[in-house]
């Protein structure tokens, strides 16, 4: 469904993503795992068609990502990005204006679940509240692919559980979910496939269940193993 | 496009409200000073303020449009636009259209205000317009009339819109090349100056072909066609860069 074919991206001669090949199928939850600067965000932005690849291509439904794919791919960036003059309610209106798959009722439900008042100005929100708003706006889309880049950044422990619940409840067998996070332990229980990234390369792709049953390793242990091995090799 | 345009107007609302309020303050001062000889100075202050607000307001509408585009292309705020299922031509088109419509509406507003005020002055002191026109005539300039006011505003607005589109092009080109790196603003200004010099050279070459002593209205019509051509050409070029080359 979402396919990355030998995708590379360079900025001013510095390669941040090298020949990334991936095939992401519907009905699965993927985790992009790796340290800062490993290329997770760059790959997500390429898949969201915000960046243009230096070489290779990302296909959605066998077509290069772009205008058409933006209708079905919901991207949640790490950084705050809403217009500062907006209220929480304005954000919902904006999404409703631009995305046909946006469900205002779902947005309101998510806001109330996260205890986020609709009349607050975006510029007055704390980082945790902004993160919740981003999640609510993104998950209120009835998208086919969700790309969630560090969705738990700036969110406290209790709210994280709430958000994880919201993410899981918004899934169905047609949906592909790609999640990037530093909090490996917290997402381990929900992940089907883990994609380990290091220095712009895909280091390994693992089925999380197989990892537990065959190798007897947790996601955290595998993460340490891969990153340390590569560091030692480096 | 309708939705993009709606939000472009929303982004520039505050500046327009400020310009409108300032214009209204000067208009009130002008109206206070008009009927009374003893308050003439206040009236003159109002008139001067209105002229200043007209020029400054039109200038600010362009500047705020350029500044918004720069922010959209060089900060995370750009996700708001470029995550949506809208192409580069639509995004830039909405910005050019918003600027053009704002300039047009601003021009009509200040044009009507200027015409009403001139008529009020004419009623108050019948010889004022005559005297003003005699002075302008002796300086080789055309006389003032409501038609002349609107025509002049149209020429200035179309020219200003072409300048704003040049700036849109410069900002977009630097964003595509520099990808949000430092000195982006400076590079944009340098590209903009270069574009201005190039367009001025092309304009002056074309204008040489116009015979001396041609009617002022025909002269300004050619000027308007040139400005519109620059606006349209740069709009398509900018849209193409956004669509094919720009990374947010």
Confidence grade of residue B181 (pLDDT, cut at 50, 70, 90): low
pLDDT of residue B142 exceeding 70, the answer is: no
Nearest chain A CA: its distance from B193 CA (Å): 25
pLDDT in tens, A28-74: 899 999 888 889 999 999 999 999 999 999 999 989 998 899 999 99
Q: Once rounded to an integer, what is the mean pLDDT over residues B171-175? A: 88
Contact A67 B87 (CB under 8 A): yes
What band does A157 get if pLDDT is binned at 50, 70 and 90? confident
Place of tokens 């051509």: B229
Mutate to test the interface with A, among B2, B77, B85, B248 (most CBs of A within 10 A): B85
Picking from A12, A50, A97, the nearest residue to B79 by CB comes out as: A50
Per residue in A136-152, pLDDT (tens digit) is 999 999 999 999 998 88
**Inter-chain residue contact A70 with B80, CB threshold 8 Å:** no
Q: What is the extent of the structural domain holding A120?
A: 2-233
Is residue B91 within 8 A of residue B81, CB to CB? The reply is: yes
Decide if B248 and A45 are in contact by the 8 Å CB cutoff.
yes
Sequence-ordered strand ranges (E) for A80-156 = 145-149
Given pLDDT bands bounded at 50, 70 and 90, which one contains residue B43? confident
Distance between A229 CA and the closest CA of chain B, angstroms: 33
Rounded-to-integer distance, Cα A89 and Cα A105, Å = 12
pLDDT computed for residue A213 by the predictor: 85
CATH code of the domain containing A96: 3.40.50.300
- Give the confidence band of A19 by pLDDT, cuts at 50, 70, 90: very high
- b/e B79-116 (16+ beta carbons within 10 angstroms → b): bbbbbbbbbbbbbbbbbbbbbbebbeebbebbbebbbe
Q: Which of B112, B221, B101, B114 is nearest to B161 (CA)?
A: B101
- Interface contact flag, A98 B181, Cβ < 8 Å: no
Q: Which of A150-154, B50-54, B167-171 is the least confident region?
A: A150-154
List of chain B residues whose C-beta atoms are within 8 Å of the C-beta of residue A85? 10-11, 14
CB spacing of B247 vs A52 below 8 angstroms: yes
- Determine, for residues B3 and A71 on separate chains, whether the beta-carbon distance falls below 8 Å: no
Is A79's CB within 8 Å of B76's CB? Answer: yes
Q: Which of A148-152, A157-161, B146-150 has the least mean pLDDT?
A: B146-150
Return d(Cα B33, Cα B44) in angstroms, integer. Answer: 7
Contacts with A79 from chain B: Cβ below 8 Å: 76
Q: Which two tokens stand for residue B202?
A: 């092309």
User: Considering its fold, how many domains does chain A have in total?
Assistant: 1
Domains identified in chain B, total number: 1
Nearest to B76 among A70, A80, A98 (CB): A80
- Residue-number span of the structural domain to which B112 is assigned: 2-244
Dist. CA A101–CA B164, nearest whole Å: 35
Averaged over B232-238, what is the pLDDT?
Answer: 93
Decide if pLDDT at B119 tops 50.
Answer: yes
C-alpha span between B152 and B149 (Å, rounded): 5
């Amino acid at each position: 469904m979402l396919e990355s074919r030998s995708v590379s991206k360079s900025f001013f001669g510095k390669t941040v993503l090298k020949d990334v090949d991936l095939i992401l199928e519907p009905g699965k939850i993927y985790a992009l795992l790796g340290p800062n600067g490993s290329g997770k965000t760059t790959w997500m932005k390429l898949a969201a068609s915000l960046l243009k690849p230096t070489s290779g291509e990302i296909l959605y439904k066998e077509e290069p990502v772009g205008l058409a794919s933006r209708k079905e791919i919901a991207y949640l960036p790490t950084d705050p990005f809403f217009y500062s003059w907006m209220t929480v309610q304005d954000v919902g209106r904006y999404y409703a204006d631009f995305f046909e798959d946006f469900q205002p009722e779902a947005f309101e439900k998510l806001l109330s679940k996260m205890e986020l008042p609709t009349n607050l100005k975006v510029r007055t929100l704390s980082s945790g509240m902004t993160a919740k708003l981003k999640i609510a706006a993104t998950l209120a889309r009835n998208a086919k692919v969700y790309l969630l880049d560090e969705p738990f950044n700036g969110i406290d422990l209790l709210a994280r559980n709430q958000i994880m619940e919201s993410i899981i409840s918004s899934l169905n067998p047609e949906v592909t979910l790609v999640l990037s996070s530093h909090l490996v332990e917290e997402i381990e229980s929900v992940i089907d496939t883990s994609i380990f990234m290091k220095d712009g390369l895909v280091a390994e792709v693992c089925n999380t269940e197989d990892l537990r049953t065959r190798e007897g390793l947790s996601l955290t242990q595998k993460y340490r193993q891969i990153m340390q091995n590569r560091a030692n090799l480096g | 496009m309708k939705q993009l345009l709606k939000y472009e107007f929303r982004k520039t609302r505050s500046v327009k409200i400020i310009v409108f309020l300032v214009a209204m303050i000067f208009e009130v001062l002008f109206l206070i000073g008009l009927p009374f000889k003893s308050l003439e100075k206040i009236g003159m202050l109002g008139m001067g303020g209105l002229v200043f607000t007209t020029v400054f307001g039109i200038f600010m509408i362009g500047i705020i449009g350029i500044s918004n585009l720069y922010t959209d292309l060089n900060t995370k705020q750009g996700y708001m636009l470029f995550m949506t299922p809208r192409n580069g031509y639509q995004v830039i088109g909405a910005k050019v259209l918003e600027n053009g419509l704002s300039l047009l509406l601003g021009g009509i507003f200040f044009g009507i205000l200027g015409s009403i005020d001139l008529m009020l002055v004419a009623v108050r002191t019948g010889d004022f317009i005559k005297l003003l026109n005699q002075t302008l005539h002796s300086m080789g300039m055309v006389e003032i009339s409501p038609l002349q006011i609107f025509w002049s505003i149209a020429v200035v607005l179309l020219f200003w819109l072409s300048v704003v589109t040049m700036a849109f092009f410069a900002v977009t080109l630097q964003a595509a090349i520099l990808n949000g790196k430092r000195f982006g603003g400076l590079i944009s200004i340098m590209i903009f100056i270069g574009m201005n010099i190039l367009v001025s050279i092309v304009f002056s070459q074309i204008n040489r072909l116009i015979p001396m002593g041609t009617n002022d209205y025909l002269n300004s019509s050619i000027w308007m066609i040139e400005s519109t051509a620059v606006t349209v050409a740069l709009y398509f070029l900018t849209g193409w860069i956004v669509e094919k080359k720009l990374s947010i």
